[in-house]
Amino acid sequence: APLGGLPAVAHLHPTLVAAEPGDEVALRLTAASDCSDATLDSAVRLLCPDGWSATPAALPLTLPSGEHRDADVLVSVPPGAPAGLYPVRAQLALTGAETPAAWRQVVEDVCLVTVGQCRDADPIHLVAGPADVTLAAGESATLTVTVGTAARAALAVEAHLISPWGTWEWMGPAALGAVLPAAGAVDLRFRVAPPPRVRPGQWWALVRVACAGRDGHQHVGVAVLTAGQGEGQRRGRRGPAVRAQQAHGAVERGVAAVAGRGEAQRHLVAGFGGDQRRV
């Protein structure tokens, strides 16, 4: 089941497939239950790019405890589809009247379809940021990451802010989500607000961005100065990135704890400072 202990998940196989205009792409949908003591009623719907279609477009599924269900899905590529990257999304939601509210979060999996001479199969890339942050205790600042996509349909994107123990109450939120529009970009904003009691020092932070089963991460330095310290004093200090780089080992351990364990499929994320993984 997805990270966070949700009881059911949907998978699309394969996760990356090549096609030509006018083709039909055969996918396998699997819905699985991780619930140990109840049968789950669920509904899966297929979200396709404009002009595309999926058969079936929606499936009601009953998932007995610990079991799974499979279904074949046929995706039709329109004859005039331009070359590019097209996401097909399968979203699963639990529908039973007895389902607890905490279980009703929609989960999804994505198959990326490349049409024609697609130059880039990566669903996201870094557009701008995040920049190092320097501020005085008692002040607040915004840590912004802008991610973009060349995909020709909308995608769900999620960002996690990872930082050392002792900073969690003033760096956040821990996670946030957004919709990345087709061939567009979106800003993901986190707040950095050390209270006046925080002592001056240097911290690292890491922004992990996940989309369509891939993720990338970028290191950030955060420097906290004495409350009331002036702008001139700030400009005279060395950048927080120096200390952030020294903490690289700790950052990588944080990534391993959050991003998953084991042998992941890796390749460099365009513009990101870390690895991209299928998760």
CB atoms near residue 205 (< 10 Å): 26
Q: What would the two tokens of residue 195 be?
A: 């209270």
Please say which residue of 61, 87, 115 terminates a domain: 115
Share of the chain above pLDDT 70, in %: 80
Q: What is the pLDDT of residue 96?
A: 83
What is the model's pTM?
A: 0.80
Final residue before a domain boundary, out of 115, 136, 165:
115
- Whether 133 and 82 map to the same domain: the answer is no
Same domain, 68 and 134: no
Q: What is the pLDDT of residue 12?
A: 97
With respect to residue 259, please indicate whether it lies within any of the assigned structural domains: no
At residue 252, what are phi and psi to the nearest 5 degrees? -65, -35
Residue 168 is part of which domain span? 125-230
Given 115, 143, 165, the domain boundary residue is 115
Range name among 113-122, 187-196, 214-223, 247-256 with the lowest pLDDT average: 247-256
Using one digit for the tens of pLDDT, what is the confidence trace for 244-255? Answer: 444 444 444 443
> Average pLDDT, stretch 150-172?
96
The chain-wide mean pLDDT, for the chain, equals 84
Q: How far apart are CA 11 and CA 108, in angstroms?
A: 8
Domain presence at residue 44: yes
| 138-160 residue pLDDT tens | 999 999 999 999 999 999 999 99
Residues 134 and 102 in one domain: no
**96-131 pLDDT tens trace:** 888 888 888 899 999 999 999 887 778 999 999 899
26 plus 109 within the same structural domain: yes
For residues 97 and 132, state if they share a domain. no
Q: Give the domain CATH number at 133.
A: 2.60.40.10
Mean pLDDT of 194-214: 94
Report if residue 221 sits inside a domain: yes
Do 64 and 100 belong to one domain?
A: yes
Q: By CB neighbour count within 10 A (0-12 exposed, 13-18 middle, 19+ buried), where does 239 fall?
A: middle
Max Cα-Cα span within the chain: 65
Q: Summarize the confidence of residues 194-219 as an average pLDDT.
A: 94
pLDDT digits over 31-47, tens only? 999 888 889 999 999 99
